[in-house]
Chains A and B, each alone.
Chain A
Amino acid sequence: MQHALDTFISNQFHVDAATWAWTQVIYAIAIGLAAFALVNFGAILAGIFSWAERRIAARMQSRIGPNRVGPGGFLQWFADAVKLMLKEDLIPTQSDSILYRMAPYFVMVGFSCTFVVLPFSHAIAATTMDLGLFYIIAITALIVVGVLLSGWASNSKWSLFGAMRAAAQIVSYEIPGGMALMVPLLISGTLSMQEMIRMQGGIQPEAGGNFLTAGGWPWNWNIFHDPAAFVCFFIYFTAALAEGNRAPFDLAEAESEIVAGYNTEYSGFRFSVFFLVEWGNVWVMSAIACTAFLGGWQVPGISLAALDNATGLSSIGLELLSLSFFVVKTLSLCFVVIWLRWTLPRIRVDSMMSLCWKYLVPAAFASIIFETVWVLAFARSPSFQLFFGVIMSIAAGAVPLWLFAKRTFDNIRDTGDRVDLTNW
């Protein structure tokens, strides 16, 4: 983005950006605008997810869901947000009022700071930080701090229980989650989110590739790079669910046991911040998974050079194309997150811990070892990697997807039902 700004300055003001006195001011304005846009993107997205989740959940339960406010009930999230903001903001007398007020900010900051490095398309990303992945893992730890603070400061046993559960859960799942992200790191050899996506471009035309080898074809994705990466995608996804306190790992907010967990005492706008972060996190974890494993914004058949060198209208068109590829992949993962929530019951605390330490952690470490061997053995042979990628994407991608779709429609047929998309 700095490069784009420098170009903008030299074109508009005909000065050298490196020496011009107002450069820093332009930078500051641009940073402010980007931050405003990203925070609002997160907030609005979380609101829309609340509506989408309710509609999807309803549909999975043979209900309809909110469909009265606006077309298809789409403005329901807006009405809910207005209601939440108009509610009285209560602070319990016995609470630690300063920490109580601070906790939502920690959570909000930990959430919105991830957008600093989250890519959206080939050119749209706040920064291209070299330590992107590391930064995300580090900054999301702030959410734990906020959750712990809120539980402690509320001076309520439910809140404290919820916060302690959340802390234990998030700290535990950081390990398999972080380790699983080591595998795409080993494959691409970089921590930068944008670079990681660029590395999933397959064999470029300059290196003798063609339409079917270059760009975001599934056989170029990290998930189909080798079996270890395939396993690590699921490890990361599970761990990210747990870190985001999403079902089936929403023990910190288990309403049947501890009321609403760490946010029991919160109301009004402060509560809506927790709410917003929970749904916003769905996008964040899906975007990271999409970046690290699913080829990010890579467009099938379009080489990196074509994206980099495009100018004018075709540049905008390609940019929108890559943006839509990224958004569609991320939203599909968001759908899976919602879908999982309405499929699985909440798991027990000890099961949650045993899943992490007995299954995910050993599997993640084994995958790293497997991956290092794999990379050492096959990194010099892109053609073998391409061949194996095609086999993997058929065997582990297309065939299971087809079987799953068949199973799904068999479920409908076997119960004497039929596909019917009416009654919305």
Chain B
Amino acid sequence: MQTATAHAPAHELTAPEPHTPQKNGLRDYVDNIRGTTKSFWHGMSVTLSYMFRKPITAQYPDRMPVGRLADTLPARYRGFLEVDRDICTVCKACERACPIDCISIGEIKDPKTRKLVGMDRFDIDIGKCMFCGLCVEPCPTGAIQHTREFESASASFTNLTFRFVPEGTVSPVYKVPKGSTAFMRAELGSITRAIVKNWDAPPPPFPAKDTKKPTHAATTKPSGAAGALGRELAVRALEAKAKSDIPKLQKTFEDAMAGTDCGDCGYADCFGYSDALAKGLDFDPGKCAPGGAESKGNLEVMLVALKTGKAPEAPVEAVEAAPTPVEAAPTADGADALQKELVAKTVAAKDNPDALKAVFEEAMAGTDCGDCGYADCDGYSTGIAKSGDNDPSKCAPGGSETTANLRAMLVSLGRKPTT
């Protein structure tokens, strides 16, 4: 043992071995041999035992012990998207939610009533899809869902565009029964499985450039018809208001909406939004995303009619074409004449605050948009006439013309416009 420890200085030349401190040379020596033998004994029995166990490798795809791998995946696996068009309300919430625009929906509207009647296209480019699931969440009926299908190897990239509405057909809009919370859906995956092609399937023919389908023409809005619808709705709204018939007013507002109950407006469904509009709780006509500009225009006409108390005059294409009518810039002479007239009225009403307020309101765009910071035009004009607001530039819809008019009027009163 003494001789074994005497080798310690030589040992220092080699790398230190922290796990085997040199306490007792010979005992360590024997311990090392025993430890090595034991660890060999154990280690080799472990590795050998694996020779007799089943390898866990799954030989995908051709030697799988289970049938289809997709069927073994967890239920919430995010595979290919699938649309059940039988319960699709064509609200296009999924299309808007998609961050990479891989969903494309072709809506069809009735040319007269401007209501959604169906869709002739519901394409998802699964090659672009990043399987984020953002389209699934806003869907009011659960028509769009992730399936567990995932095998997308394809010789042709165009085969990765899944067409859920077969070409040349029109799928009708699904009307949600009031109060429904659950919707009968086709078996998840069955629709997508029918659409997915073999990897070597030939690509669909490239569409010729001039084949513009008539349905597309129908979706472009003829402004006259829309204006007529807006006027009709406004008249009905005025009638309802005259009778203080809130449910009827609500129904009228809902008629101007797309009716998909998508919830994109922030309300639970179309009823919520139209009810808020009818009760005067909401003044924003632009929340109906599926309805688009058309719905927004009609709602705006109705709101203006209710506010002013009179039905819109014959052609309201100004409203239809552009939500801010004053933007249609009049000629320089007309503008000057209007300004002179307003200034004259201002000077005349100088000592009558109520009359002054009415003149100021006349100079504004009258959309009650609230962009000025006041609740509506009434508030802004009162502020100028009675509370000493000297800023003429707050009327955003009126633009520079209104600002110039208001400034001239303020100057005529001997006040100093701030801008």
Contacts and interface: CB of A to CB of B under 8 A. Distances in A.
Interface in A155-183: none
Contact of A408 (B29, B45, B55): B45
Interface residues on A, range: 20 to 34
Nearest to A406: B45
Contact of B15 (A56, A344, A348): A348
Contact of A340 (B15, B44, B52, B65): B44
A60 B29 CA distance: 32
Contacts of A422: 54
Nearest to A411: B49
B45 A411 contact: yes
Interface residues on B, range: 20 to 34
B45 A59 contact: no
Interface stretch (A24-32, A75-83, A323-331, A412-420): A412-420
A420 B47 contact: no
A81 B417 CA distance: 91
A421 interface: yes
A419 B56 CA distance: 13
Contact of B14 (A63, A350, A419, A421): A350
B47 A423 contact: no
Among A56, A59, A422, max chain B CB count under 10 A is at A59
Given A60-B47, A64-B59, A350-B15, A407 B41 contact: yes
A381 interface: no
Contacts of B56: 62-63
Nearest to B11: A354
B228 to A, nearest CB: 71
B212 interface: no
Interface in A386-424: 404, 407-409, 411-412, 417-423
B51 A60 contact: yes
A320 interface: no
B41 A59 contact: no
Interface in A297-350: 339-340, 342-344, 348, 350
B47 A407 contact: no
B267 to A, nearest CB: 56
A419 B57 contact: no
A212 interface: no
Contacts of B65: 423
B33 interface: yes
Nearest to A56: B51
A61 B50 contact: yes
Contacts of A339: 44, 47-48
A62 B49 contact: no
Q: Which 5 A-B pairs have CB atoms at the shortest separation, nearest pair first?
A: A420-B54, A411-B49, A407-B45, A343-B47, A350-B15
Interface of B: 14-15, 29, 32-33, 40-57, 59, 65
